Amino acid sequence: MSLFKLEPHLSTEIIERVKRLNTTLISDALGCTGSMDYKIKPVATGMRVIGTAITVSLRPGDNLFLHQAIYSGQEGYVQVVDGKGHTANAYLGELMAGAAKAMGLEGIVIDGLVRDKEALCELNFPIFAKGFIPNGPLKDGPGEINIPISCGGVSVHPGDLIVGDEDGAVVVPREKINDTLAKAEKKLGYEEQRLET
C-alpha cells in the first residue's frame, strides 16, 4: 500500500520510443535544456534509466523519506531525489539499492552522494548520483514524497519522464513528452542519414 498517490506511469509505447533515443537527442529536442547538473552521473558504466518520476524531497543528510518512497515504489517508476546538494553523508548504499531493485523500480537519480560503490556497480541497478562518501545518513526526517522538487538544478514534477545514460540525466515535463519525442526522433533520422552519406 503506497503512502502517497502515484501519477500513472507512462505508456509502454512512450517508453519503447525513448529506448531508441538518448539524452543528447532529448535535450536537443528540449532546446538544449532539461539536463541535470553535470556531476549527476551513473555509478557504473553502461547504466541507463527510463521511467516515470516519483519525487522525494529530503532534509540534508537524512534519508528517512527515501526509505518510505522505495518501499512504495513499483515497476515503471524512477525515484528522483532532492538531497539539497548535501555532501557530508551518503543517502543510500547497497541495502537500499537492493530493496529498490526488489520493488521493481527502474532506477534512482539523486542530487547527492551514495556509498558502497563496488556493490552498487555489481547490483546492476541504475543509480545516478554526484559521487561517493563512506558516511551514512541520518534517519529522522522530515521529508516529502511526490511533490514538485528541484534535482540537479532542474524542476521535476511527479509523472515527468526521466531519462539517464552515460552523459547524465534529463527531465521531460509530462505535458511536453509527445512533442519532445517527435522532435528527437526527427533529429535521430537526420543524424542517421548524415552518417550514411
Give yes or no for a contact between 73 and 105, defined as CB atoms under 8 angstroms apart: yes
**Backbone φ and ψ of 32, nearest 5°:** 60, 40
Report whether pLDDT(192) > 90.
no
- In percent, the amount of the chain with pLDDT more than 90 equals 91
Give yes or no for a contact between 104 and 78, defined as CB atoms under 8 angstroms apart: no
Cell 529506448 locates to 19
- What is the average pLDDT across 81-106? 97
- What is the average pLDDT across 166-171? 98
Query: Does 10 or 194 have the greater pLDDT score?
Result: 10
Q: Which amino acid is at 79?
A: Q
Predicted TM-score (pTM) of this structure: 0.95
**Alpha helix stretches (DSSP H) within the chain:** 12-19, 23-29, 64-71, 94-102, 117-123, 177-196
Give yes or no for a contact between 35 and 172, defined as CB atoms under 8 angstroms apart: no
Give yes or no for a contact between 138 and 131, defined as CB atoms under 8 angstroms apart: no
Report whether pLDDT(193) > 90.
no
- What is the average pLDDT across 2-30? 92
> Any bridge partners for residue 193, and if so which?
none
Report whether pLDDT(41) > 80.
yes
How high is the mean pLDDT of the chain?
95
